Amino acid sequence: MGVLAAAGIQRPRGTEDILPADAHRWRHLEGIARDQAGRYGFGEIRTPAFEYTELIHRVGVSTDVVQKETYDFADRGGRSLTLRPEGTAPVVRACLQAGLFGGSLPVKVAYVSMAAFRYERPEAGRLRQHHQFGCECFGVPGPTADAELMLLLADFLAAAGIRSAVAHCNTIGCAECRPSYRQALQAYYRDLLPTLCADCRRRFEQNPLRLLDCKIDREAALGAPRATDHLCAACGEHFQGLRALLAAGGLTYEVDHLLVRGFDYYTRTVFEFVHAGIGSQAALGGGGRYDGLVESLGGAPLPAAGFGVGMERLLGALALEGRGDGPAEGCDLFVTGEDTAAVFALCAEARRAGVTAEFDGLGRSLRAQFRHADRLGARLVAILQGGDRPVALRDMRTRQQRDIPRPAIVAAVLAEKDAG
Ligand code: HAM
């Protein structure tokens, strides 16, 4: 690193390296994500890291993420491409392109540790490249999909070890009832305009719902009209239905009248799971319903809902709660002995049999090799004693040692491994 730093080469601002000492935490969470998504019937999907700019920009005309934070670039053929800032639009594009929406419904897909890119001001919990576990469900008009997604997110966070996340949910109506709610908000905020921050003055015209989301003018938002008081009958019924299902599913949550979320595509339900301890970037994950997006991207009208949860924020919250270590990758067997080729051969044989095996390739003394085995967390050390002599197998936890004939050593290690 020293040399690279001197040459001015560092990782780009707002990005993180995941080094071997941390990678097991990621794999652990990814395993839980796949397991939980599988239980709810979501199949895995992977899409490219970049899309045509048109797709990403069509999704969010008044969305900050899309207006101000995308990485857009021209490729060598002169086409404009954008690094995906989120997963929903690319997933819709991929499902449309594969014709999945013409098959049997619902279509339920999940992405795990999907990299997303946003040119934001980096701070704790806010990166320029982050990773999301997300689930998207297409084809279910009723609130069972919204409820299922919220339960899945709650189950995932609980299985990951999070204890203090709070579920917030709200409804923001639909194309029919939102215009009257926007008007009510504008009427309320009009007199307050001179006191609002610059961003909010811009939002007043473009996207007045986002005024509720302002981190600076919290006071003003608290007195603002509530979406729940402006819903059409169908949206009101949907929200009541969702609440009944969340109760049936045993999820504790708060109705948060200020929750609006940052993308234009949401309709009706929006939700967020917030962690009290991780500072200003407190949302671990969020999502909602987006009944108009598939049609706006060229498909037939299709109801949809989904969520995304940030892996880095989740790992940060777990660290704060003193959890999240997951099972560290251990080493089952360390092999040592005078005869390098024999050590090498036993390692190779053990690895092929499914054992995690290591040896010293640096010519260290036997004592130093044992210290190294300890550092690696080796459960067993095999000491090759030369010729036809049996191999001494030492259990590093009990410090007990027994002799085993060379041909039986791998089977003995496997038996120990199976016994835990
Ligand atoms: P989002 O709220 O923008 O929603 O992102 C989802 C989660 O990704 C956030 O709650 C947060 O944990 C994490 N996240 C977002 N931006 C950053 C960042 N700059 N640095 C670190 N973590 C970040 C979406 O992306 C929607 N596509 C979710 C969705 C799926 N809605 C429907 N389906």
CATH number of domain containing 256? 3.30.930.10
What integer pLDDT is reported at residue 2 of this predicted model? 65
Residue 177, by phi and psi: left (phi above 0), alpha (psi -120 to 50) or beta? alpha
- What pLDDT digit, counting tens, does each position of 381-400 carry? 999 999 889 999 999 999 99
Same domain (yes/no): 414, 285:
no
Minimal-distance CA residue to ligand 1 atom 16: 126
348 C-alpha to ligand 1 centroid (Å) = 43
Query: Does the beta carbon of 120 sit less than 6 angstroms from any atom of ligand 1?
Result: yes
- Cβ–ligand 1 contact at 271 (below 6 Å): no
Which CATH number characterizes residue 384's domain?
A: 3.40.50.800
Q: Is 291 in the pocket of ligand 1 (CB under 6 A)?
A: no
d(CA 162, CA 151): 14
Q: Does 208 map to a domain?
A: no
Query: Contact, 120 vs 69, CB < 8 A?
Result: yes
Task: Indicate whether 59 and 135 sit together in one domain.
Answer: yes
Look over the chain and give the mean of its residue pLDDT values, rounded to a whole number: 93
Task: Confirm if 187 and 180 have CB atoms less than 8 A apart.
Answer: no
Asked whether residue 311 is domain-assigned, the answer is yes
Contact 287, 271 (CB under 8 A): yes
pLDDT, mean of residues 82-108: 97
pLDDT of residue 62: 63
**Among 259, 313, 314, residue to substitute to test ligand 1 (most atoms within 8 Å of Cβ):** 313
Q: pLDDT digit string (tens) for 213-267?
A: 887 777 889 999 999 999 999 999 999 999 999 999 999 999 999 999 988 899 9
Range of the domain at 337: 333-419
pLDDT in tens, 138-174: 999 999 999 999 999 999 999 999 999 999 999 999 9
**Token couple for 222:** 């608290």
Domain annotation covers residue 81: yes
Are residues 154 and 86 part of one domain?
yes
Q: Is residue 354 pLDDT above 70, yes or no? A: yes
Same domain? For 293 and 368 the reply is no
Task: Measure the CA–CA gap between 300 and 177, rounded to whole angstroms.
Answer: 22
40-67 pLDDT, tens digit per residue, is: 999 999 999 999 999 999 887 667 777 7
* One domain for residues 157 and 94: yes
Determine, yes or no, domain membership for 51: yes
Helices (H) and strands (E) in the chain, counts: 15, 16
Is 261 part of a structural domain of the chain?
yes
17: confidence class by pLDDT, cuts 50, 70, 90: very high
The reply to whether 325 falls in a domain is: no
Rounded to 5 degrees, φ, ψ at 391 are -90, 135
Note the pLDDT tens digit of each residue in 275-318.
988 777 889 999 999 999 999 999 999 999 999 999 999 999 99
Q: Which atom of ligand 1 is nearest to the CA of 285?
A: 10
- Domain end marker among 291, 320, 349: 320
Q: Can you give the pLDDT at residue 266? A: 95
Asked if residue 327 has pLDDT above 70, the reply is: no
The count of structural domains within the chain is: 2
Query: Do 313 and 346 share a domain, yes or no?
Result: no
Residues 250 and 373 in one domain: no
Single out the residue in 320, 343, 375 at which a domain terminates.
Answer: 320
Q: What is the mean pLDDT of residues 394-420?
A: 94
Whether residue 325 is predicted with pLDDT greater than 80 in this model: the reply is no
Same domain flag for 254 and 343 = no
* Ligand 1 within 6 A of CB of 118: yes
289, 320, 351 — which closes off a domain? 320
- Within this chain, do residues 291 and 357 fall inside the same structural domain, yes or no? no
